[in-house]
Structure 1
Amino acid sequence: MNRVHPFAPGATRQDRASVVVYGVGVEGEWKFQKFGVQLDQYDMERQELSGDCYRFNRMEATVSALPGPVRHFAFEVPSGYYAYSGFNGARLAQDATAFAAAEASVVYVGDFVYGRDCKVALRRNLDGLNMWMNTQAPNFGKAVEVAETVPVRPPNIFVCTP
């Protein structure tokens, strides 16, 4: 069960819902047809992913593997912290960080870009975000804020077996 849902253009945000926006782009040579970035809900007390094989809140955004402009995605999420997933196929270039999605907030995490060095860089491009918001953004009902970040222990994956 995943309580995260894509937030489609034209949708109206629920009063207490949190919305997270992030971008995905490719500059380097990714050897598959699609490139995706998953952010998983993170438990700050335990310093690990929240959930298990049956309940696992996560955002998943996928773009073509061909180099091109960053595409932005919006998700309605349970409030809490989210981190770059250990399930992603490419390593993050910087240290592990969790991003806060406070209740009833609309936050921008940044743009995850797969580079020529075969790592994913997190960039915060507010001009690109504003251009997206002016042309394609859903009706958020409030201004988008840059997500608060907190250094965390890198998330490990969990293995589900029958």
Structure 2
Amino acid sequence: MYIKECVILCVIVAVSLVHAECEHGWVEFKENCIHVNAQRTNWNSAEIECKKLHGWLASDDTQDKHDFLYIIANVLKTINIFPFFIGGTDFIFEGQYRWAETGQYAGPFTKWDTGFPNGNWSKNCLMLNWDGDDLVWQDERCSAGHYFICEKMSNVSQPIVGK
């Protein structure tokens, strides 16, 4: 496990800005911070863990963010850390994926793998996975155990209380 933690730390250092506004273990992306958890768990437990860190399961809602996640995931792929749960689910209406933190539909930007979503009622959670060299969305059973990606506002974008 120590090697995985070291690789994750190296990834974080490599893609962080010098004047990062994110806590240790998080990577700055625009006004938010991204954290990859190297423990496998189900989607619901991943969401709870992200909330404990004052965040949410990450959304992959723009090409810019997807490109950023691709860089991180590509490094982690070399040590077999993949796939990753992210914050999309179709719990409310089958086939209509929404981001857990906002309730907004997952679109217009999408990265569905060919033939996905394919789970009908059995697969209701969104994960990032590799299809060759392409990082794509796939639907998955929420009870499956995967790594996960959290997101939260950076220290700069959080409101200052009392001012």
- Per the normalisation by structure 2, the TM-score is 0.28
Q: Structure 1 or 2: larger helix share? A: 2
- Per the normalisation by structure 1, the TM-score is 0.28
